[in-house]
Amino acid sequence: MNTRNFVCSLVVVLVTGTWGCGSMERSGAEPAGSGEKKIRLDELPAAARQTVQRELVGAQLEDIAMEKRQGKIVYETDIIREGHKWEVVVGEDGQIISKIQEGSAKEGAAEKQGSAKGWRDTFDVNKAVLAATGDNPCLTIQPGRVLKLVDGNNRLTISILNETKTVDGVTAGVLEEREEKDGQLIEISRNYFATDPNTGDVYYLGEEVDNYKDGKIINHDSAWLAGEKGARFGLMMPGKPKVGDKYFQEIAPKVALDRVEIVSVNETVKTPAGTFQHCVHLCETTPLEPGTSHKYYAPGIGMIKDDEFELAEKP
């Protein structure tokens, strides 16, 4: 499963097309150091503003300075998160150029190395009871279910296949994700899930990935299976999600270390398929790379929003 991540904390997010993250904005532009100009959040280009807003989940904005580096405009953003100051430099295209914690011995070392502190990475479950199908309201694993999400000309189709695979001694159901960009297939992943019938918890046992270019498979990056090369299963979706829960979904060293925090269980989300209430909002991060990803699940439907991808039609 694709991820774009950075650490996030409990916040209330208003889904109105942009992320409202409780940031503190300056009332107007201020002078800055040599070659810099202090600006407001709403003065950023759209792509850069969206990135900064995502980085502000659970944090506060101190200030933003616009400057030119190597002939290109960049935005040096100072963010306060959990008592620590971070300098996040963002390009006009929204790409994160650097992320440095003030006072750290190595720039970005904590972010690159990551830490499991605060996120559960072990789960007390009897694998013998796990089932290939399940009825978790937000992640129902039943063959034949299909969700279609779109982002402009890009498409993400999620299907529960009428297949199973044994992974780490568990018979798992198969969730296929098929991603297309401008009509061209770029990825097919087969994700393996098993549900605890007693709790409704859905566990993630790995994925097999085919990445495409010009209609041909070019690699299998991000593939992993529990029980192989030190990988272990993670928790994909609790049966009873609670705000503040933090856990790893993928535990595959150096390959996939996706982790999430449940930000809300009562979001109202608008998509092309309609408006959905009481949605579960997950903020997804990984210690392997910077950035955040936001996913929304509607009870009885499943995933209705994955960053820019939104549900196109009701299933």
Q: Give the pLDDT confidence of 149-166 residue by residue, as tens digits.
A: 999 999 999 999 999 999
Residues 214 and 153 grouped into a single domain: yes
Query: Is residue 212 one of the residues assigned to a domain?
Result: yes
More confident site: 7 or 130: 130
68 band by pLDDT with thresholds 50, 70 and 90: confident
Predicted pLDDT at 1 = 62
Predicted pLDDT at 117 = 54
| pLDDT of 307 above 80 | yes
* CA separation for the pair 26, 61 (Å, rounded): 9
Predicted pLDDT at 90 = 87
pLDDT, one tens digit per residue, over 180-237 is 999 999 999 999 999 999 999 999 999 999 999 999 999 999 999 999 999 999 999 9
Domain containing residue 37: CATH number: 3.10.450.360
Mean pLDDT of all residues in 92-121 = 62
pLDDT, one tens digit per residue, over 283-300 is 999 988 888 899 999 999
Q: How many domains does the chain have?
A: 2
Query: Is residue 284 one of the residues assigned to a domain?
Result: yes
Query: Is residue 294 one of the residues assigned to a domain?
Result: yes
Query: Is residue 121 one of the residues assigned to a domain?
Result: no
3-state secondary structure of 46: helix
Residues 144 and 86 grouped into a single domain: no
Predicted pLDDT at 289 = 84
Number of neighbouring beta carbons within 10 Å of residue 86: 23
Residues 286 and 234 grouped into a single domain: yes
Mean pLDDT of all residues in 20-46 = 58
| pLDDT of 20 above 80 | no
Mean pLDDT of all residues in 122-143 = 96
| pLDDT of 59 above 50 | yes
Among 66, 91, 113, which residue terminates a domain?
Answer: 113
Residues 131 and 222 grouped into a single domain: yes
| 299, 265 contact by CB (below 8 A) | no
Q: Which range of residues forms the domain containing residue 253?
A: 127-311
> Which residues sit opposite 80 in a β-bridge?
60, 85
Query: Is residue 3 one of the residues assigned to a domain?
Result: no
Q: How far is CA 82 from CA 7, 10, 57, 112, 117, in A?
A: 10, 11, 11, 18, 14
Residues 97 and 140 grouped into a single domain: no
Predicted pLDDT at 86 = 83
Residues 99 and 134 grouped into a single domain: no
> Which residues sit opposite 86 in a β-bridge?
79, 101
Residues 199 and 245 grouped into a single domain: yes
